[in-house]
Amino acid sequence: MALILSAKTALILCVMTACGGSRDILRAQNRLEIAKDLLGKGEAIGAESEARQALFYDPQSEDAHNLLGLVYVTRARSNSQLMERMDCLTAADAVALHSESDDFMHKAGSEFAEATRLAPEYGEAWENRGVVAMYFHDWDLAIEDEIKALSHLERLDSTPLARANLGWAYYQKQDYVHAITELLQANQGAQYFCLGKYRLATVHFARKEFEQAAETLAPMFQNDKLCPPLQEAQYLGGQTFLRLRDRESAVRAFNSCVTTAPKSCQARECKKALAEVEP
């Protein structure tokens, strides 16, 4: 006598196997969890291998495509850190690393695009697409992607980060009204949002609102444990204090910038500023 499955059992089997397809969702999820753990530990190559295994078991996993995209973003950022913070390579020396970073980001964009194709409501993947657009200075596309991310909050990990990125894209287009609107919303939380505060202060500075810029950055300078060292914010603080004729605070900010990563490109700018300020 043929075995007759109950409707509930048949539904479960259909979900697990994509109704006769080649999806193995359980194994894919296990691999994906391993990949997330490895990426969190900074082991990008191992994470990439596990994410690919997840896609082998479930080619329709939008989460696996998104994570693989994050692996490529991580590898691109490692190159950028080497070029800009570790030794500030000259343009000629950095060509190969720039090219590799661009390639990683193109691959990341493809993975994020596939994730949103599979799941158009995947807000986090749209946010990540916006990050790729920002990397390539495609500010209009970044705005479009971040707006889509914010229209799918149910699958967006960080609304403040998406708003901060949207505000930054508006800032790059010199649309300061929209930029400040988004960045004010990004910073509404109880916690001090370091990246959001730096970007908000940058817009205030561009609008010549120097007191507001200094006020926004003040907690960062008053408590060095509040945020990880952000040289861009230290340089901005120095320039802001100069406009407010607070030479002593400017010198402290520029010195902090240099001390944070002495070989970085930003440190060179801070040293130059110090040379102009100090007697």
Take residue 47 and report the two structure tokens written for it.
Answer: 């994470």
Which residues are CB-contacts of 91 (< 8 A; sequence separation ≥ 6)?
none
Query: Are 268 and 88 within 8 A, CB to CB?
Result: yes
Cα dihedral 25, 30, 31, 35, rounded to 10, equals 130
Provide the whole-model pTM: 0.88
Note the pLDDT of residue 2: 42
> Which residue has tokens 């990008």?
44
CA 13 vs. chain centroid, Å, equals: 38
Q: Which of 195, 196, 194, 214 minimizes the C-alpha distance to 205? A: 214
**pLDDT at residue 17 greater than cutoff 90:** no
**pLDDT at residue 212 greater than cutoff 80:** yes
> Which residue has tokens 């193995």?
24
CA distance linking residue 16 with residue 58, whole number of Å: 10
At 51-88, the pLDDT tens digits run 999 999 999 999 999 999 999 999 999 988 777 766 67
CA 3 vs. chain centroid, Å, equals: 52
Domains and CATH numbers, the chain: 23-119 (1.25.40)
